[in-house]
Structure 1
Amino acid sequence: MLKALIFDMDGTLVHSDPVHLEAFAKVLKPEGVAITEEIYHSTIIGRTNEAIFASLLPHLPVERHEAYANEKEATFRRMAQDLTPLDGLLNLLEWVEARGIRIALVTNAPRLNADHMLEALGLANRFEVEITIDQVERGKPDPLPYLTAIERLGIRADEAIAFEDSPSGMRAAKAAGLFSFGVLTGLSAAELTKVGADRTIETFRDSALWEVLERRIAA
């Protein structure tokens, strides 16, 4: 029986990756680091800031990594003012909530970003459980964020479905035992299937999603 949907945030609730890419590019330009789409997809998408800045600025101490991470997130929040939920998201949330299915958020983003984005999307206080990177010892690809959400919801992994757009997020969701949809806002179906996606969708209107939901509701 389906009891909960658990969503990643960036690239899943909203196609925010272009704004993140621009923010990284702006902040790292003084260090001579050019952020291309290829670098964004291979080194940044879905990873924690700790891992990202360690990869991009290995010659700098951890303190500088943290300073750059804070600057990047502040830059992103200034730039991310006009955000629109991914097509079909609001309809999906209304549909599951009408059936008593709960919703949760699991993101590697810091709390300040989550609050800003949910407010901009009109989703503030919509999620029963919100797990940000500040609340867990280890972020994705570790399954801990998802396991924490499952525990707080008081359900089993087989009673929930996850939505992810990145390899690290998908690995985390699958390691936590969740049936998972790959959301194709940045990567291909083949790329997300390779790291464990059970199904892939372009938007929340895709028939592949609704077939699974109807089947799980009827179970």
Structure 2
Amino acid sequence: MEDARFAAEAVVWDVDGTLIDSEPLHERVFYATCRRHGVDLSDLDAGVFVGVHQYDVWEAVAHRFPPHVDRDAWLADLDAEYLADQGSLAAMPDALAVVQALDAAGIRQACASNSGAAVVAANLATLGILPYLAATVTLDDVANGKPAPDPYARACMLLGVSPERAVAVEDSITGLMAARAAGLRTIGFAANPHIAGKPEFRALADRLIQRLDELPALVATAPAA
């Protein structure tokens, strides 16, 4: 029987919604910040900006804001409110244990996030996984965020691993698009029903998992090139 596992040297993790249950906080902060500026976004579909980086979110909603509000001020407001409530963050079930299991199996790990450096630092501090990461890539480290391949391409470069020998774990369509564009194989973490039920999500994922503890059985250590 053909081995259903990926032979890989590295796993590159998305962070928000994959390793940490941060999407509810991102959503609360987003709508609260917009309301403070008198902007009503109640007409938008739930989960419309999951996996979308902040610059693209601003481009989508900027026309609703009064002229005196610019992107940088809005982004600073978002980060400040997120960090003020970072105590409400929690790891996804089994996140730390899975990261530790992959490390014990000799698989190198990195994260490639669509969030800025301050938010990623807060998330990783909550998770307690920094000792197991060989590289961290944030939106501040690349010219283009997901769905562009830049975050995953940079993560593989920092790891010293060719993309075809790495696996990405993602909970969003934009993230899966980025990973595939960079040449990684993809595991879709079906944590968000608004996203995981979409045909695009399933089409972009080489494998689907419902729980993170399913991951170690799908990834086998590949011999170094």
TM over 0.5: yes
Structure 1 residue 15: deviation in Å? 1.5
- On the 8 A contact 2:107/2:221 being kept in 1, the answer is no
> Is 2:96 the counterpart of 1:90?
yes
Q: Secondary structure at the match of 2:212?
A: coil
**Alignment root-mean-square deviation, CA:** 2.2
Q: Which amino acid aligns with 1:197?
A: A
**What are the Cα deviations for residues 51-106 of structure 1, in whole angstroms up to 9, with x where unaligned?**
10121122556971221111011101111213222112222112111122111010
C-alpha separation in 2, matches of 1:37 and 1:12: 26
For residues 54 and 119 of structure 1, do their structure 2 counterparts lie closer, same or farther at Cα, with a shift above 3 Å needed?
same
**TM-score of the superposed pair, with normalisation by structure 2:** 0.86
State the partner residue of 1:109.
115
Match for 1:204 among 185, 197, 212? 212
Letter in 1 for 2:89: L
Q: Tell which deviates more after alignment, 58-67 or 174-183.
A: 58-67
Q: Does 1:193 align with 2:188?
A: no
Match of 1:74 among 80, 83, 86: 80
* Misfit runs of 4+, over 4 Å: 35-38, 59-63
Q: Residues 36 and 124 of structure 1: is their aligned pair in 2 closer, same or farther, counting only changes over 3 Å?
A: farther
Q: CA deviation at 1:185?
A: 2.2
Q: Which stretch shifts more, 137-146 or 55-64?
A: 55-64
1:99 is matched with which residue? 105
Question: 1:178-218 CA deviation, whole Å, 9 max, x = no partner?
Answer: 11111122222444113x11122222123xx34422xx337
Residue equivalent to 1:126? 132
The residue aligned with 2:63 is 58
Paired position in structure 2 for 1:217? 221
Q: Secondary structure at the match of 1:87?
A: coil
User: 2:39, 2:64 within 8 Å by CA — same for their partners in 1?
Assistant: no
Structure with bigger RCO (C-alpha 8 Å, 6+ apart): 2
d(CA) in 2 for partners of 1:117, 1:148:
20
Q: Percent identical across equivalent pairs?
A: 27
Instruction: Name structure 1 gaps, 5 residues minimum.
Output: none
The answer to whether the aligner puts 1:151 opposite 2:157 as a matched pair is yes
Counterparts in 2 of 1:62 and 1:204: CA distance versus 1, 3 Å: farther
**Residue correspondences, number:** 213
Aligned partner of residue 12 in structure 2, secondary structure: strand
